[in-house]
Structure 1
Amino acid sequence: MKYSILFLTLLLNLKAAFTQNKTFTISLFYAINEVESNLNFNRLDSMLTAESKNTLAVNICGYADFLCNDAYNKDLSLKRANAIKDYLLKKNPSLNVIKCVGVGEKNSYDNSSILGEPSQRRVDVIVAVTFPRKRIGERENITQKKDKPVAVGGPKNLITIEKGESMSFEGLNFIPGRHVIVKTAIPILESVLETLKEHPNLKIEIQGHICCEPGNIDGLDLDTQEMNLSENRALAIYNYLVRNGIDEDRLTYKGYGHTQPKIKIEKSPEDEQMNRRVEFKIIEN
C-alpha cells in the first residue's frame, strides 16, 4: 500500500513537472439573426494557429438578446453554438468539445430598443489549454520575448521623437470591450498632460487600437453598443486632455481598429492587452 501511494505521488509530480494549463475566453459577436460569421471564424483561426502545438478542450455557450420570442432565441443561440462547434471540429478534429449549449435570452434585458442588446448576441468559447512545460534545466526560449514589441520610454519622451513618428506607453490600457481607462494608467495620462503643457508647440494625433478583431473592422464598444471601440478610446484620451486645459487645435484623434497590432497573433491576455492601446503621433513639434 505504501509503495502504491509513493508511485501515485511520483506520477502526479511528473505530470505537474512537464505540463501546465491555462484558460481563456473568446467572445464572438453577431448581427441580428446571424448564425454564421466569417469574421468570427477568422478569430477562431487565429486562436487555433496560436495554440497549434497544444492540447485544447472547449466549452461553447451561445446567447441571444430579447428580440423575438424565447423559443426562437433559444433555438438561435444553439444554432450559433453548434456552428462554432462544427467549424472548430472541422479545423481541428482532435479538439475536445466538453459542452455545447444555447441559453437563449437568459441573460438579456429588454431595453425596448429596436437594436436589441448587441453584447448578448454572442457565443462564448471557453478554451482550456494543456501544453508542455519546459524541462528542468531547459533554457528559456527568449527569442519570442526579444521580438515582442514593447513601449519605449515614458510620456516625457514625446519631445524626443521626430514629426510623423508614433509612441505608445506601456500600461496605458483599457478595460476589455470598453473605452474606460484602467486605473493604473491614470498616472501615465497625467504625465502626458504635463508634457503637453510644458511644450505648447507640440501637436499630436491620438490613435486608438483594439485587440482580438481581424482585418479593418473596429470593435464593439459595450458602453455605446456601437462598432467604434478604437475611435472611442482615442476620443476618451482627447476629452481628458481638452478637459484639463489642452487646446483642441493641438489634438486630433482617430481609431485604427485592429489594423496595426503590436502582437500579430495574440496568445495570451497579456498579448491582447498590448494591442488594446492608444498611441501618440507627433504632428508638430
Structure 2
Amino acid sequence: MIQSIYFAHGSYELDKQSEKKLDSLAQLKNNLKFRIFGNCDSVGSINYNRILSENRANTVSKYLKTKITDNIKLENIVGLGEEKQINDNSSEELRGKNRRVDIFIDREFAEGEKISGKTFPSFLGLKVSEMKVQNTYSLPNVNFIGGRHIWLSSGNETLFQLFKILRDNPAMEVELQGHICCDYDNFDGKDLDLNTFNLSYTRASAIKEFLQKQGIESSRIKASGQGHLDPVVYPEQTEVDRTKNRRVVIVLLKK
C-alpha cells in the first residue's frame, strides 16, 4: 500500500488533513515497515529541491515517530528532490502532485507466501447493458514488457475488441488505469523508452493512443497511472507473477 502526503509550494509543513491521514496510518495493527520518500516539483534549483524534499520526508517521519507503536518500523527516509517526478509540471495541478511525500507500507511475508488482489470481470465478457458505471473491468491478456509501455502481442485481439465496443457505443467513456510490478522504492516505475518515472501512466496512454488512431475521440478516454497499487499477485516471485501485474484495467465512466 502507498499513501501520499501533499504540501504547499515551497513548504514542508503538515496541514490538518495530512496530520489526520498520518494519525490513521499510525493506528494500523499489523507488523509493518514504512518507507518514506520526499519529492518536489521542478521550481527552484536542484540543490534547493533536494533539501526541501528531505525536509518534507523528515517532517513526516518525525510526526509518525510520536504516534506509532513498536509494530511499525520507519525505514529509508529519503529526499529525492525533483529526480523522480510522476508528472510533467505543465500545470499547477500536476506540480501539486509532485510536491509530496510517499509512504510505502509493507508487511512481513513468510517464505513463499503470496497474496492475491481483487479480480475484476472482463470488459469483453459482458453486454454493455450489464455493465455498471464506475465499475472496474479487466482487459484479458493485455500485459507489458518489463520497464516498457509496449504490450505483449497476446493483447492485440483484446485491444481490437475494445476498439469495436467503443466504436459501436459512441456515448461510452472510459478510464484506462495502468499498473506496474516490482518497483517498490518509487510510486511508479521508470519507462526505459522515455526515461521518465511514470511507467504505469505511459502504459495506459499507449492504449489510449492506439484507440485514437483507430478513430476513437480522445475526449472519451482518460488515462491514469496507479503505480504498483493493487497488484494481482504480491510479492512477485516469478516472471509469471511480474507479467500479471504489468497490466491496464478499465473503468466505465459513461455508457
The normalised TM-score by structure 2 is: 0.53
Structure that is richer in helix per residue? 1
2:237 to 257, 267, 283: 267
Distance, in Å, in 2 between the alignment partners of 1:154 and 1:165 is 10
Once residues 185 and 231 of structure 2 are traced to their aligned partners in structure 1, the CA distance between those partners, rounded to angstroms, is: 10
Q: 1:190 aligns with which of 160, 163, 179?
A: 160
Residue correspondences, number = 154
Cα distance in structure 1, aligned partners of 2:219 and 2:124: 20
SS at match of 1:172: coil
Q: Does 1:245 align with 2:215?
A: yes
Would the aligned equivalents of 1:215 and 1:259 in 2 still touch at CA under 8 Å? no
Q: Deviation at 1:248?
A: 1.2
2-side partners of 1:203 and 1:230: how far apart? 20
Tell me the amino acid that sits aligned with residue 159 of structure 2: L
Which residue is 1:223 aligned to?
A: 193
User: How far is 1:281 from its partner?
Assistant: 0.5
- Tell me the percent identity: 30
Distance in 1 (CA, whole Å) between partners of 2:244 and 2:196 is 22
1:155 partner letter: L
2:6 matched residue in structure 1: none
The equivalent position to 2:122 in structure 1, one of 129, 150, 153, is: 153
- Alignment match, 2:132: 162
Secondary structure in 1 aligned to 2:142? strand
Is this contact kept in 2: 1:175–1:181, CA < 8 A?
yes
Q: Deviation per CA, 1:42-94, whole angstroms, max 9, x where unpaired?
A: xxxx8x946x269xxxxxxxxxxxxxxxxxxxxxxxxxxxxxxxxxxxxxxxx
Instruction: Give, as a single letter, the amino acid of the residue that structure 2 aligns with 1:230.
Output: S
Runs of 4+ in structure 1 deviating by more than 6 angstroms, as ranges, are none
Spell out, residue by residue over 1:232-271, the C-alpha distance to the aligned partner (whole angstroms, 9 max, x if none). Answer: 0000000000111101111111011012212232232222
- 1:211 maps to which of 164, 167, 181: 181
CA distance in 2, matches of 1:281, 1:53: 32
CA distance in 1, matches of 2:121, 2:185: 26
Contact 2:139 2:250 in 1 (8 A): no
User: Is the Cα–Cα contact under 8 Å of residues 173 and 252 in structure 2 kept in the other structure?
Assistant: yes
TM superposition shift of 1:179: 0.2
1: CA distance between counterparts of 2:112 and 2:165?
Answer: 46
- 1:44-193 counterparts in 2 under 5 A? 49=109, 52=111, 149-155=118-124, 157=126, 159=128, 160-193=130-163
Question: Is 2:243 aligned against 1:279?
Answer: no
Say if 1:151 and 1:169, in contact at 8 Å, map to a contact too.
no
User: Superposition RMSD on alpha carbons, in Å?
Assistant: 3.1
Q: For residues 184 and 249 of structure 1, what CA distance do their matches in structure 2 show?
A: 27
Identify the residue that residue 129 of structure 1 maps to in structure 2. Answer: none
Q: Which runs of 5+ in 2 are unaligned?
A: 1-74, 78-105
Over alpha carbons, which structure has the higher Rg? Answer: 1
> TM-score of the superposition, structure 1-length normalised?
0.48
CA displacement at 1:216 relative to structure 2: 6.2
Q: Using the alignment, how far apart are the partners of 2:140 and 2:127 within structure 1?
A: 14
**SS state at 1:218 partner:** coil
> Does the C-alpha gap of structure 1 residues 234 and 271 become closer, same or farther in structure 2, counting only changes over 3 Å?
same
Distance 1:259 1:150, change over 3 A: closer
